[in-house]
Amino acid sequence: MEFLTIQNNQRVDISSIPVLQYEDFSSFIIDLINDNDNHCVNYYGYQDNNQIKLICCIANDTQHVIYVTSSIVDKNSELNSISKKHLSFEKFEREIHENFGINFIGHPWLKPVRYAFNRADKTKTIANYPFYTIESEELHQVGVGPIHAGVIEPGHFRFICNGEQILHLEIQLGYQHRGIEELFLQKKELIQRATLAENIAGDTVVGHSVAFANAWESLCDYTPSEALQFDRALALEHERIAIHTGDLSAICADIAYQLGNSVLGRLRTPVINYFQQWCGNRLAKSLIRPFKTNFPYNEYLSEKWFEVFDAFLPDFNEICEQIFDLPSALSRLEKTGVVKTEVAAEIGMVGVAARASNFNRDIRFSHPFGYYKNESFNSIMGKNGDVYSRSKIRMDEANQSISFIKEMLKKIPNHEIQEGEIINEPKPNSFVVSLVEGWRGEICHCAITDEKGELKHYKIKDPSFHNWLALALSVRNEGISDFPVCNKSFNLSYCGHDL
Amino acid sequence: MLSFILVILVSFVFTGVVIRTKSIASGRKGPGIMQPMKDIYRLFRKGAVYSETTSIIFQIAPTIYFSSVVMAIMVLPFGHTRGLISFNGDFIFFAYVLALGKFFSIIAALDTGSSFEGMGASREALFSMLVEPAFFILIGSLGILTGYTSFHEIFMTFHFSTYITYAIGVLVTFVLAMICMIENSRMPVDDPKTHLELTMIHEVMILDNSGFDLGLILQTTNLKFAMYGALIANLFMGNLVWYFTIPLFFMFQFLFAITVGILESFSARFRMSHNAQFILVLSSISLLVFFVILMIMNKF
């Protein structure tokens, strides 16, 4: 067997993952990815007895399964690049190169990704990042950041422009690197790890904490109760509504449409505040915990939810209609920052941005977990992959999530705590992949335990990891003044990428 | 003298009214009318910080920019009373003294050596260049119609009597108002509220200015607004007596400020590449006025 077939959140023995020679490993991956239904959800390496074990997880969207395969290579070895054939591996290989000094021959450009503290080559620093340079005197460079004018995270954007036209954009990140993956191993208490998961990306608290909770429970062979699954799906969809509304407001701000900005900003507040009523935190921190919930959902909260959304829906639909009817807004949104479907497929885009480019990547549908298993879920697709599509899909998805929650609330499962429930420790020598569709897209957490059942390696992948490249490509040949609205339409996470 | 004092008075509250209108339109209470002036007063009491890469140009530019606008205001008449400076062809002086100030603000922006400010300067230069023909064709046409070449005499002789003069009045008002929006870098060409360096025009040029200099530049914007408002008001005041013209003047300025606020509230700004087109449209409207006037005068 060349691979192991598993499902989302299925615990397997690490020894059951086949170990291939690197040549077989890479040609096998290339064969798999040639099929359009397959995409790589995670490809990473970790140190195993002075060698590097590479693990590649490829998800098949139609069969709803994940293929896992692995290979063992030496540090600082030279390997043939997979990115040469499939560009979507570009960043994964750069990451492995950065961490272990492995050289991928034929890779387009092996640059550091995030300047991890334990990187292989310490001489490479954020100050001497190898930017793409120009010789021509007719072109000019514009550097933006890492300190920005607004309250956003640090990241450096370097544009090569011909007058007002962007020819090339290079995005350099890594300023937010905190070593979260390493912290997961250092912090031994479950509550510490759950808190860490909440802080991977501040705008995807529910997404990442559900991914962690699912991964941890799978490691312990624990099946969450119906009530827990209900809470998680509800929180995920509610987070989606809140952030999508906020994003639409911010897009309006970037095109200087004041009415849209202020109305949507006002609408977002009660949605976010609903989390406060539920769990005492507006960002839903401490809401999702493995094995339990500290804030069981009840009839009272359900009533409150309907109160919030009875007020929200009419205004939301009215203002969205206004925005998507306003000629001056349309002229800014339409045909700006286009990512074609083929490009989206080539670079492996995920989530809401991929769906706006008419490229279906939706974990809720392709690898359903928990509550989503029982629901038929149709992803909403955009057409053109421009800023308009990415804005419109946010409105449609917010509406879809609202009706989804309305259906959910018809039957609230029993939240009474069952006495005498046995909670196991994580099983030794196990491997688990946990996929969650956060509001931004596919979140992937991979966990490996050692022979004592201790966490040996924890790997996190935020959807931003794939999509930053899409932003860089989408602004090519656009006016530089359209960059901010393109950027906002993707709304990618810096700290989710930098970890 | 009268126009000079009134324009300066109006400049104190103009931006305040615009901001208040925008606040009310978006359902907020908004800051007080005098808040922009309080901010400027605060800035006036501060020292300025100069970057080491800048030269003397950067330090004198805000003052030249400010005084150029003050000079331009002196040219403006007020109903019967002439401006402090008034001579044949003073509208050319008016346009080019403003251009001098703009020139200095552009080279000061280039002086900082920042890539943002260079971009802002190039945009501002392009848009000012495109706006120039619109202004000259417009005032020139009025000059042909009235037979005079100074602001005071043009406005004194321009009468609203026939439908065609009303039509001309509407077009002239529209073009002057839009020139004002462009010169002040407001919507729909520029967005003064944005925090995004890459989309700014005027705001990005003054990123390096601080303290007193920044206060001066902000006050210049206020003055420019009031100045264009006065120009529009003059068009309608004609030779009425002062106790009509003064309330009329304030009413026009107030209406103009509210219009600016409403315009900025309910539409999105243009894409940068559409701005040039839009400004050229103003020139073509001015040409329209020009041809209408030629037809009235039977000069074809």
Instruction: Check B198 against A480: CB less than 8 A apart.
Output: yes
Please answer whether residues A92 and A44 qualify as being in contact, where contact means their C-beta atoms are separated by less than 8 angstroms.
yes
Q: How confident is the model at residue B227 (pLDDT cuts 50, 70, 90)?
A: very high
The alpha carbon of B112 is separated from its chain's Cα centroid by a whole number of angstroms, namely: 25
CA distance B278 to chain A (A): 13
Instruction: Check B268 against A329: CB less than 8 A apart.
Output: yes
Please answer whether residues A384 and A410 qualify as being in contact, where contact means their C-beta atoms are separated by less than 8 angstroms.
no
Do A378 and A237 share a structural domain?
yes
The predicted structure's pLDDT at residue B300:
66
Do A84 and A229 share a structural domain?
no
| Residue in A closest to B207 by C-alpha | A149
Do A389 and A261 share a structural domain?
yes
Q: How confident is the model at residue A419 (pLDDT cuts 50, 70, 90)?
A: low
Please answer whether residues A141 and A160 qualify as being in contact, where contact means their C-beta atoms are separated by less than 8 angstroms.
yes
The predicted structure's pLDDT at residue A319:
92
| Residue in B closest to A266 by C-alpha | B27
Residue B188: cis peptide before it, omega within 30 degrees of 0: yes
Q: Which residues of B touch A141 (CB under 8 A)?
A: 115
Do A197 and A102 share a structural domain?
no
Domain range for residue A41? 4-113
Do A394 and A249 share a structural domain?
yes
What's the pLDDT tens digit per position in A207-242? 999 999 999 998 888 888 888 888 999 999 999 999
Instruction: Check A254 against B196: CB less than 8 A apart.
Output: yes
Q: Which range, A144-158, A220-234, B60-74, B177-191, has the best average confidence (pLDDT)?
A: B60-74
The predicted structure's pLDDT at residue A227:
86
Q: Which residues of B touch A475 (CB under 8 A)?
A: none
Quick check: B104 pLDDT over 80?
yes
Q: How confident is the model at residue B97 (pLDDT cuts 50, 70, 90)?
A: very high
pLDDT > 70 fraction of chain A, expressed in percent and rounded: 99
Query: Does A202 touch chain B if contact means CB atoms closer than 8 Å?
Result: no
Sign, CA torsion A107/A109/A110/A112: negative
Query: Does B268 touch chain A if contact means CB atoms closer than 8 Å?
Result: yes
The predicted structure's pLDDT at residue B63:
94
Considering only CB atoms, A481 lies closest to which of B26, B198, B265, namely B198
Do A199 and A79 share a structural domain?
no
Measured CA to CA, the distance from residue A469 to residue A450 in angstroms comes to 35
Please answer whether residues B228 and B176 qualify as being in contact, where contact means their C-beta atoms are separated by less than 8 angstroms.
yes
What's the pLDDT tens digit per position in A41-79? 899 988 888 888 889 999 888 888 899 998 888 888 888
Quick check: B168 pLDDT over 70?
yes
Please answer whether residues A230 and A297 qualify as being in contact, where contact means their C-beta atoms are separated by less than 8 angstroms.
yes
What's the pLDDT tens digit per position in A287-326? 888 888 888 888 888 899 999 999 999 999 999 999 999 9
Quick check: A486 pLDDT over 70?
yes
- Examine residue A478 and state whether it is found in any structural domain, yes or no: no
What's the pLDDT tens digit per position in B119-143? 889 888 999 899 999 999 999 999 9
The predicted structure's pLDDT at residue A420:
66
pLDDT > 90 fraction of chain A, expressed in percent and rounded: 28
pLDDT > 70 fraction of chain B, expressed in percent and rounded: 100
| Residue in B closest to A487 by C-alpha | B196
Do A327 and A422 share a structural domain?
yes
CA distance B93 to chain A (A): 32
Do A425 and A294 share a structural domain?
yes
What's the pLDDT tens digit per position in A335-353? 998 999 989 888 889 989 9
Whether pTM > 0.80 for this model: the answer is yes
CA distance A163 to chain B (A): 8
Measured CA to CA, the distance from residue A197 to residue A212 in angstroms comes to 6
Do A330 and A202 share a structural domain?
yes
Do A235 and A104 share a structural domain?
no
Average pLDDT over residues A244-249: 93
Q: Who contacts B162 (Cβ-Cβ below 8 Å, separation ≥6)?
A: none
Considering only CB atoms, A483 lies closest to which of B115, B194, B198, namely B198
CA distance B204 to chain A (A): 11
3-state secondary structure of A171: strand
| Chain pair A-B, CB pairs under 8 angstroms | 87
- Examine residue A498 and state whether it is found in any structural domain, yes or no: no
- Examine residue A488 and state whether it is found in any structural domain, yes or no: no
The predicted structure's pLDDT at residue A50:
85
Closest CA to A238 of A284, A201, A199: A284
The continuous run of DSSP H or E covering A163 comes out as none
Do A297 and A414 share a structural domain?
yes
Query: Does A262 touch chain B if contact means CB atoms closer than 8 Å?
Result: yes
Query: Does A481 touch chain B if contact means CB atoms closer than 8 Å?
Result: yes
CATH number at residue A93: 3.30.460.80
Instruction: Check A256 against B196: CB less than 8 A apart.
Output: no
- Examine residue A139 and state whether it is found in any structural domain, yes or no: no
| Residue in A closest to B19 by C-alpha | A258
Quick check: B254 pLDDT over 90?
yes
Instruction: Check B27 against A263: CB less than 8 A apart.
Output: yes
Query: Does B38 touch chain A if contact means CB atoms closer than 8 Å?
Result: no
- Examine residue A70 and state whether it is found in any structural domain, yes or no: yes
Number of domains, chain A: 2
Q: How confident is the model at residue A153 (pLDDT cuts 50, 70, 90)?
A: confident
CATH number at residue A433: 1.10.645.10
Cα angle A359, A231, A283 (rounded to 5 degrees) comes to: 75
Average pLDDT over residues A119-145: 84
Two tokens, residue B225:
């607004």
CA distance A481 to chain B (A): 4
